[in-house]
Structure 1
Amino acid sequence: MKFGVRDYLLKPTDRDQLMEVLVRCRKEKEEARQRMLSEQRKMLGDLRTTVEESYLYEGLQCREFHAVYQKYRERLKFRGEILHACICNYVEERFLAEAHKDIRRILNKYGIEMEFPAVYVKNTVVLVLNIPSVTLCKQLAGNLESLRYRGQLVSFTVEFVQDAEEALWNMIFGRISRFNRILLLDEAGESSVISNDLTSPWKLERLREEILYLEPKRIQEILEGMFSQFSTDTEAAKNFTMGLYLKLNSDDSEEAMEIACDFFRSLRACRKVGEVREMCFRMAVGSMRPEEKRSVVDMIKSYVNSHISDENLSLKWLAENYLFMNVQYLSQLFIKKEGERFSDYLNRMRMEKARRLILTYRSDNIKDIASQVGFESNPRYFGQVFKRYYGILPSELIVQPHNREVTGK
């Protein structure tokens, strides 16, 4: 403990002054300790931000994501849990700082911490959260979608994706890897820019693998998102299109080479990014060989997986509004491929998802579970279907021991 000269000259009998000095010294020592802790926290925070930036950068640059995940798992305290990706769409960058502040306020209100700093790409904020219930997901979505800012053109929309931690991160990297400029936001809302090379060979290969299994409309959406980043940089757009063409067309026959030369000549003649985008889209769809195109049944199953909470989902609706095909033909095709009727398949998918939700959250309201799997208006019927499939009611499954296995019929 340090004393000034005046403190050393105090008389031993001057008790009040001595106590005053002791209190002041203790206070000064505590203030110094707090300053040191604050500096340490800042240093660790800066280091963690650096690690998180490195994680994103390596995850974007490395083809083998599993290796990157394992490398950073301990450093970033990943726990391998079931997590949620909260994806907030239509967040314009001019509102980003304010929106980030409000998002943190809403999360604090519900006692939810972010497992990773917010990531921002092209009007989209991606949050990694650990949310304990479906009900809370719905409440969060409502709060986030109600955010409004002066001059805002489109209301925010929120979607949640739930998965095991590594699989969830793999999905997130799949989404953000399509953008050349990615922002990582710290607690104060300050952003770090992470540049992403869209034309690297393995990214073009990843894009190729992805679009081979998508319908043309979805391919167009992906390409429009990517081309929007080129702005007026026509040369960058051409380089990207050339790289993707070479990935999609590996045939080296004489005829294929002539087609490629014609394509590249036409590409060089383009003067605007929009013209390049249209060429890229036609090429991406046209170069898919029939055996590589996703089957109609696969498209149905993918749609069901993404819209399983829709009560009106039916094969008739899909035939008339999504696939534009004859419903009887579609029904026969589905039975031939899957060995079961579409209605049976849909119920099975709904019950399997309901079971996963119940086993994950345990204490959730059955009505909330029912609404997540397409039975919002009739939770009683949901219980009947669930019991027919698993032999017990949803409420009975909730109270069962965690280690007891329940299988469907």
Structure 2
Amino acid sequence: MLKLMIADDERMIRESISSLIDWNSLGIELIGTCSDGIEAYNMILDETPDIVLTDIRMPGLSGLELVERISQTDLGTQFIILSGFGEFKYAKQAMKFRVHHYLLKPCNEGQIIESMKDVVKEYYHRRAFQDLKERQKALTHNLHYSVLANIINERIFLQESPERAWDSYSGFMDFFNTGYEMCYLHYLEEEHLTSVLNQVSFYMMEHAPGITVYSIYVKNTLILFFESHQVSYDKLDAFMMSLSPHKAFTELSYVRATYASLSGLIETLTGKIERYGMIYFMNGLQPVPICNYKNLISKIEQLTTSLMQSEDSDSGNASLEELLNTIKNIGNLDFLKQTASRMVIKFTTGNRYYSTLEATEYLMTLNEQTHIEVLKNMLIEKILHIMEQPHENPQCCSPFIEKVKQCVENNLSNPNLTLKWIAENYLFMNVDYVSARFIKETKQKFSNYLATIRIQKAKQLLTEGNAEQIQWVAEQVGCGNNPQYFSQIFKKHTGMTPSAYVKRLNGGEK
């Protein structure tokens, strides 16, 4: 239930509102009443009500002063202003503090109930949106964590070239255009690791709440890295240098370095930690070893490469069977997630049947799993499905068919886009000939290809935070000013509405 507090200096009004309305039927619990603004302010701080129904003119603090003070906190309290003064200046001042409900005395029970229903609805909508953003942030962090763990594994144990790593993973993170900071805390004993990580976490939540901090621990050294977000890091440096674990034998030593890109940071990082026998890539406060499985990583890498390159069905089947058996024998959930993301990315990079967005969706689903057997079955099913697809070069089409595809991408927002228009205005060729060649080379009709590209683009826009702008997304993918039509075709191709798709992708409805 939501908690309600009533503030009014007129006793009869307080008691009437308190007793006449069945608050429980509205999903509301009345936690108290106040007779002046100071008492109301203190009760809000103590009881953190979700809704406050307040008069404007009260002793101590006026209702508007109360709203102003509480709006400066992080309580998120919703206000309903109740006043006998109908002057516009009060309503205008209330709206400045995002108060959308303003009742004039005398008001009846029905008016109060309707306002309460509106506030309750608004509260749950806002909370759902905030929860969605938090889930999306958490899932994005998990995806990025897996990508970074894969790269570190490859660079250290498989000696992959940097170019191959960036080609495989550039669809998931920005490795070249964003600056990063890397901090070293030397002489940190393992018994003090959790305490220090907690202190760093609290500091970053307060001073840089939107920044994700990644951490690696090797023998007596904690390495932190995060996206650059300030001009000066003097406060951060001072905080880091002030860290002093209780009962530590040695004083910590702190160094920070700035990198123009994540790729440059990773090259430096892997060069410094590759000599250690035990490396922990911290997932929050949970240390996850990424080096205990060197032989297994190499084996999976070899089998995956063999499957991708194999043209002989017998050898391919043997490699597939061995890979599936290897997956079945893995007993560590975190390691399996790392391995799964590595294989999925490797199998789908450059694959015409799977876009980066589709791989991202699948990896997010994998990272949600908490049961290792479920994860194994999902991964095996995906690998078998991928292997059923023909192995074709994505650039197998003739130049003018590639030009058709490029034209689709450039004009996707055009609701009247047709193959005839492209043939006549871009190719200057007969549309029947273009259509026949398109079907022959792509194994699908143009209409199906166009719909698929539109749905992929819609998915991308929705997952980038545009779920609240369905009409805008519809326009961007060529459905014009018709969100209902867009929702219909989206559901036809995906089996769910755009809003349901976003909820599922971010840990909501399944």
TM-score range, shorter chain: 0.3 to 0.5
TM-score (norm 2): 0.32
TM-score (norm 1): 0.39
